[in-house]
């Protein structure tokens, strides 16, 4: 079932999304060689709670931390812990904040110091793919128009588009219908309407699209051990689309 949101509800998602985005900006300033992923989790958790929010991922289906920290070959759902971030790593952070009963969901990848040119390109292409996907979040289009736009940006580079995990609608629940894959033919799936709020989130691998889950039951890694990049915004379907996971008073 697709839950349409009123403008008042979208403003609550916007407030949650703003908090999530501002936590993300704080983390981007602090991610550096020598910091542990547990440090990132602690800082994010404190900032979300200080703002009166709740970290959306904490306890979600039993997830043990407040954010996901996915380093290098970890695609998504990395559990923060003692791992020390090193020069040359890429660090993906996925984080959600719940405020006034509504979630905002966002993710980004940053490079720590110098990384290979192909990894830089992977980051740029994933970010561009997200932008192209967002541009399709317009009333009258269909869900797979977003999917196809993401794929169209990525495919020419031959990078692996993760298929086992997809974007989703967001609202009172962190994951609502419909799913938003990052691949597919255009013109398929539910028609987009005002009131739909979607988390669009390409997860793109340098090598194979195939992934596996580690024994902890959470950590998703690339099958070939090559790096993976993740960018995500929560977006209200509108013309133009409104991104809700931005800091300050922009968009939304």
Q: Which phi-psi region, left, alpha or beta, contains residue 18 (left: φ > 0; alpha: ψ -120 to 50)?
A: alpha
By C-beta, is 115 or 130 nearer to Mg ion?
Answer: 130
> Measured from the CB of residue 158, what is the shortest distance to Mg ion in angstroms?
25
- For Mg ion, the closer CB: 94 or 145: 94
Tell the smallest beta-carbon distance from residue 47 to Mg ion (Å). Answer: 19
Count residues near Mg ion (CB under 5 A): 3
Q: Looking at 28-36, 63-71, 127-135, 200-208, which segment touches Mg ion (CB under 5 A)?
A: 200-208
In the bound complex, what is the minimum distance in angstroms from residue 9's beta carbon to Mg ion? 18
Instruction: Tell me: cis bond preceding 240? Omega within 30 of 0 counts.
Output: yes
Please pick, from the candidates 9, 105, 145, 151, the single residue that binds Mg ion as defined by CB under 5 A.
Answer: 105
Closest CB 133 distance from Mg ion, rounded Å = 13
Query: Could you give the angle at which helices 37-50 and 7-30 cross, rounded to 10 degrees?
Result: 140
CB closer to Mg ion, 10 vs 115: 10
Q: How far is the CB of 107 from Mg ion (least distance, A)?
A: 7
Considering only CA atoms, give the Rg of the chain: 17
Residues composing the chain: 252
The yes or no reply on residue 199 touching Mg ion (CB under 5 A) is: yes
Q: Which residues bind Mg ion (CB under 5 A)?
A: 105, 199, 201
């Amino acid at each position: 079932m697709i839950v349409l949101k009123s403008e008042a509800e979208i403003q609550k998602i916007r407030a949650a999304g703003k908090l999530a985005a501002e936590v993300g900006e704080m983390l981007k300033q602090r991610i550096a060689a020598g910091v542990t992923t547990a440090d990132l989790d602690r800082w994010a958790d404190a900032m979300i709670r200080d703002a009166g929010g709740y970290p959306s991922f904490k306890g979600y289906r039993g997830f043990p931390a407040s954010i996901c920290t996915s380093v290098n070959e970890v695609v998504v759902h990395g559990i923060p812990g003692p791992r020390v971030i090193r020069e040359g790593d890429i660090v993906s952070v996925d984080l959600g904040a719940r405020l006034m009963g509504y979630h905002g969901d966002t993710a980004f990848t940053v490079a720590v110091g110098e990384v290979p040119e192909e990894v830089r390109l992977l980051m740029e292409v994933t970010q561009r793919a997200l932008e192209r996907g967002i541009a399709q979040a317009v009333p009258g289009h269909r869900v797979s128009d977003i999917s196809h736009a993401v794929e169209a940006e990525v495919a020419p580079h031959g990078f692996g588009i993760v298929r086992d995990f997809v974007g989703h609608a967001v609202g009172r629940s962190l994951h609502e219908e419909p799913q938003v894959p990052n691949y597919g033919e255009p013109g398929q799936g539910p028609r987009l309407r005002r009131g739909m709020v979607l988390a669009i989130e390409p997860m793109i691998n340098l090598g194979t699209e195939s992934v596996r889950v580690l024994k902890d039951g959470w950590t998703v890694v690339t099958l070939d051990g090559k790096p993976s990049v993740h960018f995500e915004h929560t977006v209200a379907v509108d013309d133009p689309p409104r991104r809700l996971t931005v800091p300050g008073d922009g968009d939304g």
